Chains A and B, each alone.
Chain A
Amino acid sequence: MNWISRIIGGRGDSEALDPGVAEILAHWQSLPDADLGRAHFETRYVVLNTEATGLDLDSDRLLAVGALAIDAGLISPGDSYYATLEDAPSLALSRLLAFARKDPVVVFNSAFNLGMLEPVLDQRLGVSLDVQPIDLYFLLPALFPERRGSPARLADWMDSFAIETFQRHHALGDGWAIAQLFLAAQSRALAQGAGSPRALQELERAYRQYRRKA
């Protein structure tokens, strides 16, 4: 799909009319927002991760999406999602939303991941996640200053915690590593008194502001 068909096609895309997709989407839209004040052990977090042809938001294309749930502080392989956007992108995306529900979203580098995902969601399904993600890119250095004093690449954090994964640069493979990093982050945050998704968002925001001033 090029920019012309984007403009012309818009939401009138034939695929978006698929009744199956519409139904999933309607259900997702009807879900109430997550209660961000609940404790970690009562919350289901969703790690979202993308895989693209490259790192350029303007020229590169989204290839696949991966997601893992962290429910009550545990990662369960049964509660995960992976899909490529090759065959039926609208269906794949709507199912991603159905998987994520309206639960708090965790990403590593939201500028890139959501920068990739949001336009495609808008174009294919006419929706937006519209969430304030918990971005580990900022949250990790805020919580573990003794390990890394400033934002670092995913590979560096994996090294630091000796975390491994089955496949790097794969939406779910990296997602698995990010989910493990999030478990460590959640535990450290709790020890510091940040016991809810909202508290994590606030920690991350405060760190960003501090970076900007420094």
Chain B
Amino acid sequence: MSTTAAQQLLVGASTDFLRHFSPFDRMEPTALGYLAQHAVLGFHPRGSEILTPEMGPARHFYIIQRGKVQARQTGAAVVTEYASLTMGPGECFPIGAISAQRPSTNAYVAVDDSFCFQITADEFLHLMQISPVFHLFCTQYIASLLNQSRQQMQTTFAQRAAEQQTMTTPLGQLLKREPVSVSPDTRTRAALEKMNELHIGCMVVTDAEQRPLGILTQSDLLPRVVLAGFDLERPIGEVMTANPHQLPVTASAYDAALEMATHGVRHLLVVDSRSRLKGVISERDLFSLQRISLRQIRAGIENATDVDALQHASRDIRQLALNLIAQGIGAEQLTQFISALNDALTRRIIELALDRHDLLGVDFGWFAFGSEGRHEQTLSTDQDNGIIWRCPELQDVDAVRKRLVAFGREVNQNLAACGFPLCKGNIMASNPDLCLTLDEWKERFGDWIREPDPQALLNASIFFDFRVLYGNERLGDQLRAWLNKLSRTSTNFLRMMAANALQVPPPLGRIRDFVVEDDGTIDLKKCGARLFVDAARIIALRTGVDSSSTVQRLRQASGKMGVSADEVSAIIDGFHFIQLLRLRSQHLETEHDAAGDNRIDPDTLNELDRRILKEAFRQARKLQLRLKLDYQL
């Protein structure tokens, strides 16, 4: 009785508000009533993000009640004609994203303290159904967006053409190391020893002013030194090629390629405006520049027609990663590159397998778990995957599962052929236990949450980081929404997860900087990255963040947890630094899961890296402390 009275008053007030704005002023009374009844009011302080692409498929539709919200373009691909747009009371967002149930392309940020009404995606879709006026409004809006994006496509093509001119890169930007040189009176033996020690293909001879006088390359050694019986005690000046080919630092890669082709040389010296040596460019440097670009690897993957071609692409990915590490690219971008390319590779393998397996009519999604699910793959990651599916009507569940498992087995084997080793723990789609329907996954996850024994907690730490890599993403979204809802009310489960996450403290010592293991190393995965990953997972489950990536989880939960932007950035920086160290130590390893993987001897780090590492561990400790307080552990 009295609750109804109150509702009538408040719904009436919301209705009056909405009537001031288009399209709500024209909306059918029942539809407007429905909207006013379901709209809940929230507050967004100035500077806070209301909706970003990283938050995943849009879950709410917002109508600004008071304040100002800015829509900002994010990412490289511009979809709309504006870079940013400020919206005020009565205006609403996101229309395209919520209609299509996909992530928003814009970031919506409150530029003033703002109040917004919000309804859920389901309520939005229902409103479209019951209100022709609202339906028309949304359709027209989306149509105008499509038009804008078509124009945008042309601009993007132009941009792509510009990007392909990597051969116009100035040589100065391609030099990777400080130049190595000797004087002409150096004993040849000493010069050769230096080449061997530094693994370089040629030795440059310069005068006291660092101006090049000559060059001796590996290919000169056989005819001029070995076969000619040249006395290694004699000076290098007598055996070098005098007047070597030179180019200024401002010359382009293309100039260099031309020069090499014209003169048939493999090395060119790069000099500054005063003719001093700045470095050496080899044919290989130019070759890798031409061959391995992100776009070309992608094209290679997308056009591959068999597993052989994909194996090439997989080697290219590894090579690109090594080049990028050498160029000092940050861990965040690097893991994103690796993750994006590995995703593309996996998708192509799945597509090729789909040609050979009849799965017509089966609604399924290919799951990536663990680090792949979190977009945090390093170079040595084995497979962790599964399948989620929905059984078509009138079909036998076990028969469909058999078909999916057979398909999964082929994908697993082809992934292994492309450098993703089979999972030792059999966490793979070919395992019938991990080829489950949506309801079966819910049942599985529900069991772990209700009875969190050690095995269940371990499973949760792998499987709860799922992500649909191929196929119907909505299946994954539904599972995620269900999981978040269940786990946020399961305080006991979260508490056990937290206790589990706290078992490994960051390796910070009281007296020494670091606590190391017997062999003097620190395991950066077990005692570093995992501390962040585990804490972020618990926080995400508690706050209902949809993302599976550690950084996004921390960033998106921070608003609800009342952690300042600076504090979160510091934590994230710490995580990235540890990931970077892991990648650096891995790129020296050629084999997967080699003993040295993820291990680092802190004594081999320079002073700066040591200090940053220490700070990174301190951030991990801060995160753990937060868990301790939250769950009184």
User: Contact residues of A with B, CB < 8 Å?
Assistant: 39-42, 66-68, 73-78, 80-83, 92, 95-96, 99, 161-163, 165-167, 172-173, 176, 180, 183-184, 186-188, 190-191, 193-195
Question: A183 touching B16 by the CB < 8 A rule?
Answer: no
Within 8 A of A (CB), among B1-49: 1-3, 5-7, 9-14, 16, 36-45, 48
| Residues B113 and A184 in contact, CB atoms below 8 Å apart | yes
Asked whether B2 lies within 8 Å of A92 as measured between CB atoms, the reply is: yes
Inter-chain contacts of B36 with A (CB < 8 A): 77
Q: How far is the CA of A4 from the CA of B584 in the complex (A)?
A: 86
Which residue of chain A has its CB nearest to the CB of B41? A75
Q: In the complex, what's the smallest C-beta–C-beta distance from B44 to chain A, in angstroms?
A: 8
Cα(A78)–Cα(B561), bound, Å = 26
Flag if B10 contacts A184 (CB, 8 Å). Answer: no
Question: When the two chains form their complex, are residues B43 and A82 in contact, meaning their CB atoms are under 8 A apart?
Answer: no
A74-B40, A74-B118, A96-B2 are known; give 19 further A-B pairs, CB within 8 A. A39-B560, A75-B42, A76-B41, A77-B6, A77-B37, A78-B7, A80-B6, A81-B3, A81-B6, A82-B2, A82-B5, A82-B6, A99-B3, A166-B9, A167-B9, A183-B115, A187-B48, A193-B562, A195-B561
Residues of B within 8 A of A (CB): 1-3, 5-7, 9-14, 16, 36-45, 48, 66, 113, 115, 118, 488, 543, 560-562, 564
Q: How far is the CA of A80 from the CA of B40 in the complex (A)?
A: 12
The answer to whether A188 touches B45 (Cβ under 8 A) is yes
A73 and B9 CA atoms in complex are apart in Å by 21
With contacts A92-B2, A162-B66 known, is A41 near B43, CB below 8 A? no
Q: Cβ of B564 and Cβ of A191 under 8 Å apart?
A: yes
* Chain B: minimal CB distance from A1 (Å): 21
When distances are taken between beta carbons in the complex, the residues of chain A under 8 Å from B564 are 191
Q: Assuming the A-B contacts A180-B115, A191-B45, are A77 and B11 also in contact, with contact meaning beta carbons closer than 8 angstroms in the complex?
A: yes
Report chain A residues within 8 Å CB of B13: 165-166, 176
Contact B3 A77 (CB under 8 A): no
Contact call B2/A39, Cβ cutoff below 8 A? no
A186 close to B43 (CB less than 8 A)? yes
Q: How far is the CA of A173 from the CA of B42 in the complex (A)?
A: 18
27 contacts between A and B (CB under 8 A): A39-B561, A40-B560, A41-B560, A67-B6, A74-B41, A74-B118, A76-B41, A77-B10, A77-B14, A77-B37, A77-B39, A78-B37, A80-B3, A81-B6, A82-B5, A99-B3, A161-B113, A166-B13, A176-B10, A183-B41, A184-B113, A186-B43, A187-B45, A187-B48, A190-B562, A191-B45, A193-B562
Q: Which residues of B contact A190 (CB under 8 A)?
A: 562
Q: How far is the CA of A60 from the CA of B5 in the complex (A)?
A: 24
Distance of A166 Cα from B13 Cα, bound (Å): 6
- Complex Cα distance, B40 from A76, in Å, reads 5
CB of B7 within 8 A of CB of A80, answer yes
Closest A-chain residue to B489, C-beta based? A42
Which chain A residues lie closer than 8 Å to B2 at the CB level?
Answer: 81-83, 92, 95-96
A residues in contact with B40, CB < 8 Å: 74-77
Rounded to whole angstroms, the CA-CA distance of A198 and B15 in the bound complex is 35
Could you say which of A92, A165, A184 has the most chain B C-beta atoms within 10 Å of its C-beta? A184
- Measured in the bound complex, the distance between the Cα atoms of B38 and A75 in whole Å is 11
Residues in B neighbouring A165, C-beta threshold 8 A: 13
Q: What CA separation (Å) do A172 and B6 show in the bound complex? A: 7
Q: Report chain A residues within 8 Å CB of B39.
A: 77
Q: Cα distance A167–B39 when bound, in Å? A: 20
Q: Which residue of A lies closest to B4 (CB)?
A: A82
The complex places the Cα of A152 from the Cα of B522 at a distance, in Å, of 58
Q: In whole angstroms, what is the CA distance A76 to B119 when docked?
A: 10
A198: shortest Cβ distance to chain B, in Å? 13
Contact A184 B43 (CB under 8 A): yes
Closest to B3 in A: A81
Cβ contact of A183, chosen from B10, B43, B118, B561, cutoff 8 A: B43
Shortest Cβ distance from residue B568 to the other chain A in the assembled complex, whole angstroms: 13
Contacts of B48 in A (CB 8 A): 187
Question: Which of A74, A165, A194: most chain B CB closer than 10 A?
Answer: A74
CB-based contact A187/B43 at 8 Å: yes
| Beta-carbon nearest neighbor of A189 in chain B | B562
Q: How far is the CA of A80 from the CA of B115 in the complex (A)?
A: 19
Give the distance to chain A from B538, nearest Cβ to Cβ, in Å. Answer: 13
Q: Which residue of A has the minimal Cβ distance to B488? A: A42
B38 partner residues in chain A, CB cutoff 8 A? 78
Task: Please measure, in the bound complex, the distance between the C-alpha atom of A193 and the C-alpha atom of B43, giving whole angstroms.
Answer: 17
Q: Is the CB of B562 within 8 A of A77?
A: no
Contacts of A83 in B (CB 8 A): 1-2, 5
Q: Which residues from chain A contact B41 at a C-beta distance below 8 Å?
A: 74-76, 180, 183
The answer to whether B45 and A166 touch across the interface, beta carbons within 8 angstroms, is: no
List B contacts of A67 (CB < 8 A).
6
**Complex: A191 Cα to B47 Cα, angstroms:** 12
Please give the distance in Å from A120's CB to the nearest CB on chain B.
16
CB distance from B293 to the nearest CB of A (A): 44
In the assembly, what is the distance between CA of A191 and CA of B14, in Å? 29
Top 10 nearest A-B pairs (CB, nearest first) are A183-B43, A77-B10, A190-B562, A83-B2, A82-B6, A80-B6, A166-B13, A76-B40, A74-B40, A195-B562
Say how far A97's CB is from chain B's closest CB, in angstroms: 12
- Report Cα–Cα, A191/B7, bound state, in Å: 31
B334 CB to nearest A CB, Å = 33
Rounded to whole angstroms, the CA-CA distance of A32 and B40 in the bound complex is 27
Q: How far apart are the CA atoms of A41 and B45 in the complex, in Å?
A: 15
Q: Name the distance in Å between B96's Cβ and chain A's nearest Cβ.
A: 24
Q: How far is the CB of A181 from chain B (nearest CB, A)?
A: 10
In the complex, which residues of chain B have a beta carbon less than 8 angstroms from the beta carbon of A167?
9
Residues on the A chain within 8 Å of B10, using CB: 68, 77, 80, 172, 176
Residues of chain A within 8 A (CB-CB) of B115 are 180, 183
Question: A185 — nearest CB in chain B belongs to which residue?
Answer: B43
Residues of chain A with a CB closer than 8 A to B6's CB: 66-68, 77, 80-82, 172
